[in-house]
Amino acid sequence: MTKITKAEWMCMICASASHDSDEFGRTLEEHIKVQHGIDKKMYDNLLKEGIGASKLKVKMLNYPNDIKLPMISFLSQTWGPTFDLEKYTDEEVNNMIKIALNGKTLSTVFESLNFTFQIDGLSRASSHQLVRVRIGSGFSQKGMSDTYYGDTDYIIPASVIAAGKLEKYKKSMEVSRKVYIDLFKSGVAYQDARFILPHCVTTSVVWTVNFLALKNFCNKRMMRNQSWEMNALCQLIKFEIKKVYPELAEILVPVCDYSKKCNSFGNLFEGCGKYPLEKQHNRYVFESAQIARNIKFNKEYVEKTIFHNKSVKPVNNHFLLLAREKENITKEFYGKYAHDIYVELKNCYKLGDLTVATGLKKIINTFDELYSHFEQYETTNNSVVFYEYVKLNNLEYFKNIIMTVTLLIFNKKIDDVISESWYLHQIKNKKYNDGWYYDGIRGVLKDLHRKVQRLKTGFANNQFNYFQESDLYDTLLYTIFLIVGLKSKLQLRGEKNVEC
Ligand SMILES: [Zn+2]
């Protein structure tokens, strides 16, 4: 069995792990360089993109207190003397366990050990494979007919990025998500709306399984011609078991590691090349099956993706959620203005009959108009002109901007956007102390201007991809931040009952 000499790791791209017999004690850095042609920095950036197994989590909820008692009991029943652990020396007990682990006893001995795992961030595609373990298994899976999936996360196989198809993939998922939300808002029940969702959406499963079934599962699903996600699931389960029973973890290996020959899953798939084929049959079903292990990245493409993608927010905006949790910022703390805007948005919601194209045009036109007044303010330094203008005319435009962007692009998470905008507001507040109303708004408007210019270019070239979506998202956040700031300012200046 493999000795682990360096820090433990699992590659999120192909699910190779430090304990694999073919890693030869390589570090993760060495593995990704040889296997995928990238350095650690690029790998980390791909992880931020949410590639491969980066979202998959396995937690062992339950495991046997002791393996000796049930195992020796099982074994001694079939070997003759009635079980009595005290009759055996420690050495004898360890020997018997060793013999069992080497497969030289009835394999049913492993049925005496039960484990329960909580599995999160697994694709629906793979959960279908997992629940085929019917003997010695019990499952409970997150339902789709009683759970809202409009804000669900999804899996991105690394090969999609390697093939340069990330944008297309994300776009397709977002379309499905939008249709799902639209169906739901039109009164279609969860159980019917879910039909539109693709296999990549994530699910959670609680799995109780005896060790014999688990071992058989890992023997098959750890083979390299199997899906990388199933490989990854097995590896993470192995890591969990290794924490308590390393001797059990050691026998969770692909079956070819025992035979040193490739049976390539009954010749159903092409072998990965680790061992020579056991028998050459002429019946490959998937001759050109892509093996995740062999994914090589086009550095240029990945760099380009990551470079342009810096400001794209993760789907669930974990960073901000965590930051809020950490600082114990409550809903009340968001304050009155955020609440007012929230109510406003809810009202605007009824008017949402615009398309993306008219929505974008509207944002660009209204922003241009506002910005020209802002420039005037900058040159004259006459804040009254600008703020009076905003007060008299443009708060209405802001409302339209917020309404349009929210409805058309991000209506799935109004609450999140509002909360975030208020969080940004607080950050700026701290940074600029009381002077932020001047410098803060000025900085925001300038940044907003740059983003709108980029949107404009994209729009003129008839391009709307997720880079622009990211700009739009920022535009929305800043706009709400701005409106909060302006309202504060106008109220601070003694203007009561500001309409917007
Ligand atoms: Zn790898």
According to DSSP, the residues that pair with 116 across neighbouring strands are: 62, 208
Q: How far is the CA of 363 from the centre of ligand 1 (A)?
A: 44
**Coil, strand or helix at 55:** helix
Q: pTM of the full predicted structure?
A: 0.61
Distance from the CA of 401 to the center of ligand 1, in angstroms? 44
Q: Which two structure tokens, joined as six digits, stand for 278?
A: 């056991």
Phi, psi dihedral angles at 463 (to 5 degrees): -115, 130
Which ranges of the chain have pLDDT less than 50? 1-6, 288, 307-357, 359-360, 383, 394-397, 399-400, 402-425, 427-440, 466, 489-500
Nearest to 111, CA basis, from 7, 216, 36: 216
pLDDT at position 434: 33
Ligand 1 centre distance from Cα of residue 295 (Å) = 8
Strands across the sheet with 202-210, in order? Answer: 57-62, 114-123, 202-210, 137-141
What b/e string do you get for 15-49 counting C-beta neighbours within 10 Å, with b at 16 or more?
bbbbbbeebeebebeebbeebbebeeebbebbeeb
CA dihedral 157, 158, 163, 164 (to 10 degrees): 90
**307 C-alpha vs ligand 1 centroid, how far in Å?**
22
Which of 124-127's residues contact partners 24+ apart within 8 Å by CB, and which partners?
124/197, 124/199, 124/200, 124/201, 124/202, 124/203, 125/155, 125/199, 125/200, 125/227, 125/229, 126/227, 126/229, 126/230, 126/233, 127/203, 127/205
Cα torsion for 243, 227, 215, 259, to the nearest 10°? -110
336 and 344 Cβ atoms separated by less than 8 Å: no
Ligand 1 center to 331 CA (angstroms): 42
∠ CA 222-226-228 to the nearest 5 degrees? 80
CA distance 145 to 184: 12
pLDDT, position 367: 58
Burial status of residue 127 (CB atoms within 10 A of its CB: 0-12, 13-18, 19 or more): buried
Sequence ranges of the domains in the chain: 54-64+113-294, 318-492
Distance of CA 21 from the midpoint of ligand 1 (Å): 14
CA separation for the pair 143, 122 (Å, rounded): 14
From first CA to last CA, the distance across the chain in angstroms is 70
Query: Distance, CA 248 to ligand 1 centroid (Å)?
Result: 24
User: Ligand 1 centre and the CA of 317: distance in Å?
Assistant: 27
The residues carrying an active-site annotation are 221
* Cα dihedral across residues 256, 258, 261, 265: positive or negative: negative
Contacts of 320 (CB under 8 A, 6+ apart): 419, 420, 423
**Interval between CA 157 and ligand 1 midpoint (Å):** 12
What pLDDT does residue 478 have?
A: 63
C-alpha closest to that of 264 among 296, 230, 291: 291
Ligand 1 mean position to 296 CA, how many Å?
10
**With contact defined as beta carbons under 8 Å apart, do 240 and 60 qualify?**
yes
Ligand 1 ion: nearby residues, β-carbon < 5 Å:
11, 13-14, 16, 35
Q: What is the pLDDT of residues 94-109, one digit of tens each?
A: 888 888 888 888 888 8
| Backbone φ, ψ for residue 303 (5° rounding) | -60, -45
What is the per-residue pLDDT for 272?
Answer: 73
Return the structure tokens found at 140: 């409970």
pLDDT tens, residue by residue, 100-159: 888 888 888 899 999 999 999 999 999 998 988 888 899 998 888 888 888 888 999 998
User: 213 CB contacts (<8 Å, ≥6 apart)?
Assistant: 111, 133, 135, 136, 137
Rounded to the nearest angstrom, the distance between the alpha carbon of 78 and the centre of ligand 1 is: 43
Cα–Cα dist 257/263, whole Å: 11
How far, in Å, from the CA of 163 to the mean position of ligand 1?
Answer: 16
Residues 79 and 85: their CA atoms lie apart, in Å, by 14
How many angstroms is it from 12 CA to the middle of ligand 1?
7
pLDDT score for 206 = 95
Q: What is the pLDDT of residue 163?
A: 83
For CA atoms 186, 191, 197, 202, the dihedral sign is positive
Residues 19-22: contacts with CB within 8 Å, 24+ apart?
A: 19/235, 19/238, 19/242, 19/249, 21/253, 21/257, 22/274
The CATH T-level fold of domain 54-64+113-294 is: Gyrase A; domain 2 (3.30.1360)
Distance in Å, CA 33 to ligand 1 centroid: 9
Round to whole Å and give the CA distance between 67 and 487: 66
Q: How many CB atoms lie within 10 A of CB 427?
A: 14
- What interhelical angle do 436-460 and 356-380 show, nearest 10? 140
Cα separations (Å) of 388 from 96, 139, 237, 374, 416? 87, 63, 63, 11, 31
